[in-house]
Amino acid sequence: MQRKSRTAEIILSALPYIRKFKDKVFVIKYGGSAQIDEELKNDFARDIVLLSMVGIKVIVVHGGGKKINEYLERLNIKSEFKDGLRVTNKDAIDTVEMVLSGLINKEITALLFKHGTKAVGLSGKDSELLQATVLGGGKYGFVGEIHSVNIELLNSLMNQEYIPVIAPIGVGLEGESYNINADLCASAVAKALKADKVIFLTDTSGVLDKNSELISKLDENLINELKQNGTISGGMIPKVDACLECVKAGVKNAHIIDGRISHSILLEIFTDSGIGSIIKGQI
């Protein structure tokens, strides 16, 4: 009986957050171990279904780095990273698009449907959802940056209670494909929609200090300091940059959380302390 009472207390403690977030838009970047481990995949799907059922409008933007690496190796296509971004040549872009749009995207939509919610898989090329131009003058190859998001399409789907699941492939003026960093893609979508939250699932606890301790709250000044002294480096750079872009553009909160923890999304959203790092315009 005591255990049942504790369960009831936990459920009741989430009620203020459920009320607060009803009808709000959350953009969730899905990647890392949560996208590979079978148990974590199912936990993620259940979390998304629960968010949808309590009235939160969810958009999922997914990555697929490990699966892309696997297929590039099979095809003997070389790949390297620069500034935390995958340099994508002409041979690689077709494989990247195939894996993201044709394989991973459909797996996620099928998983969400299996767990009880309506989901629609989209590439950024569908209805020119993600219009893009080449990034950095082409120094990363066919890597793009988003300059326009078709929010009418996304709002239409959400108003019909569908969850859009977006593969980060952008489309250029001539219909060419661009590989978009999934973190920056999630940021662009969140900014365009003025989302209440953008949440990045990672394979780390969040932003860590020199002693590998979690930094629970950050702002622009602290992030710049940590980048300059090398505390924030590698693949964490585009994540924190994406977070900063979001909060500067009107997204209320950006979160970096550990996707290796079961139900990490619920723990971050529906508890007082959360489990990851939150980036705000001002602390």
Task: Give the active site residues.
Answer: 29, 32, 65, 183, 239
CA neighbor of 94 nearest in space, from 150, 141, 32: 141
Token output for 153: 């399409």
Distance CA 266, CA 141 (A): 38
Distance CA 25, CA 86 (A): 29
Starting at the edge strand found earlier in the chain, the sheet holding 277-279 runs 119-123, 163-167, 57-62, 25-30, 197-202, 253-258, 277-279, 217-218
For residue 144, count other CB atoms closer than 10 A to its CB.
29
74 is in an annotated binding site: no
Distance CA 24, CA 13 (A): 19
DSSP state of 275: S
222 burial level (CB within 10 Å; 0-12, 13-18, 19+): middle
105 is in an annotated binding site: no
If you count them, how many residues does the chain have? 283
Distance CA 184, CA 274 (A): 23
229 is in an annotated binding site: no
| Beta strands 25-30; 163-167: pairing state | unpaired
65 is in an annotated binding site: yes
Q: Specify binding-site residues for substrate.
A: 64-65, 86, 179
Q: Specify binding-site residues.
A: 64-65, 86, 179
